Amino acid sequence: MQKMKTTIGYALILGCAYACQTAEAPRKASIDAHITGLKDSVVYISGLNDEPAKSDTVPVKDGKFSWSGTVTDPRKVFISTSGQYMEFFMENNPVKIEGTVDSFYYSKVTGSASQDEHMGFEKSVKDITDGQWPLYQQLHVAKDDKVKAALEARIDSFRMAKRARIKTYVLQHPASPVSVALLADMAVMGEFAPIDSLYRQLDPVAKQSVSGQKLSERLIVIKRSSLGQTIKDFSQNDLDGRPVKFSDFKGKYLFVDFWASWCGPCRAENPNVLRAYNTFKGKNFEVLGISLDDNASKWKEAVEKDGMPWKQLSDLKGYNNEIAEYYGIQAIPSSFLLDPNGVIIAKDLRGTELQTKLAEILQ
């Protein structure tokens, strides 16, 4: 009888412990920020919801703002002011942010384990970042083609070095949300095969996270424009409202240039594309512009001002351009180089790299 009472007693203790554990409130996420000099009345926080298009509007008073709720899993979050933004990682823990409006992007974030991971990675590539930025500044003002080519080669070497470190990081941290985010960043403009190869090495937990599932969906889209794929025969109207198809250019090398009148880097690259066009137009080569404009007059004005004589197409839907959406164009300028059979043989050629590639195949 005594043994039965003891057994019942243990059962009651265990049952109470389980009940207390299950009754414990789930951990919540929160943000408490103080940004000195911030005069905006609201900030916009995106990435908290599982739907990427949704954002939270949070009131600001005396440079301070706060938010609380839950996030499904650790992820990258973005906070935007009227003129700046910052990004950081968070999970269901209290996060504190301190900074100044003049250096909002570099605000200090504490309380997030995944942010600490991210900062560890950033520290590991600081030598690359510090080496790259001065070269971009020099390239911006360089005039001589040989100087530009040398700078681009050095920048590319830094870029390849960073990709190698990303690969090492992902392989060493396959379950980390930082690994997922690094691959998602690569997938904005990167080539499908190497990103897919690393995605396959991720831990199932990372793949099944909300960010991991979005990355999987993104890979399906960018596979359509991977090297060796044949371009889909889309049709859009030119500047005169006449439909033009990709198949109209079959039999020629075709440089497909995604751009827009409002895109500063695109407009800066247009003279280089014009130079390529003038150099190779009589050698079985054409250029086709795909504009992500939504304003016909601004589109036409930019074409005329930049002196672009090649065919220009647009459905005037902005980033919702049918061709751009199908191929997952998320940043411009972006480009494909097609062979005479419409097969993608190169992507995102810019500067002297474009001239070199065309000379290689056309001369």
Average pLDDT over residues 193-200: 97
Residue 54 has pLDDT above 50, yes or no: yes
Torsion sign over Cα 340, 343, 349, 353: negative
Using the structure block, give the residue that is written with the tokens 């938010």: 67
Amino acid at 162: K
Q: Which of 93-102, 130-139, 242-251 has the lowest mean pLDDT?
A: 130-139
Mean pLDDT of 138-153: 85
Output the pLDDT for position 23: 46
Q: Which CATH number is 29-114's, of 3.40.1170.60, 2.60.40.1120, 2.40.50.100, 3.40.50.1460?
A: 2.60.40.1120
Indicate if 235-362 has the same CATH topology as 29-114: no
**What pLDDT does residue 1 have?**
46
> pLDDT (tens digit, 9 = 90+) per residue, 155-165?
889 999 999 99
Q: Compute the distance between CA of residue 108 and CA of residue 44 in angstroms, rounded to an integer.
A: 18
**What average pLDDT does range 40-46 have in this prediction?**
96
Give me the pLDDT at residue 53, please: 78
Once rounded to an integer, what is the mean pLDDT over residues 223-247?
96
- What are 263-299's pLDDT values in tens digits? 999 999 999 999 999 999 989 999 999 999 999 999 9
**pLDDT tens-digit readout, 292-305:** 999 999 999 999 99
Does residue 244 contact residue 236 with C-beta atoms inside 8 Å? Answer: yes
Mean pLDDT to the nearest integer, 6-31 = 53
- Residue 25's pLDDT band, with cuts at 50, 70 and 90, is low
Q: For the chain, what percent of residues have pLDDT higher than 90?
A: 83
Cβ within 8 Å of residue 12, ≥6 positions away: none
Asked if residue 4 has pLDDT above 60, the reply is: no
Query: pLDDT band at residue 20, thresholds of 50, 70 and 90?
Result: very low
pLDDT tier at 18 (50, 70, 90 boundaries)? very low
Map out the domains of the chain as residue ranges.
Answer: 29-114, 123-225, 235-362
Length of the chain: 363
The helix (run of H) or strand (run of E) holding residue 68 is strand 64-69
In DSSP terms, 65 is beta-bridged to: 33
Q: What confidence tens digit (pLDDT) does each residue in 203-222 have? A: 999 999 999 999 999 999 99
Helix (H, G, I), strand (E, B) or coil at 110: strand
Q: What is the pLDDT of residues 334-352, one digit of tens each?
A: 999 999 999 999 999 998 8
- Mean pLDDT, residues 94-113: 97
Classified by CATH at the fold level, domain 235-362 comes out as Glutaredoxin (3.40.30)
Compute the mean pLDDT over every residue in the chain, rounded to the nearest whole number: 91
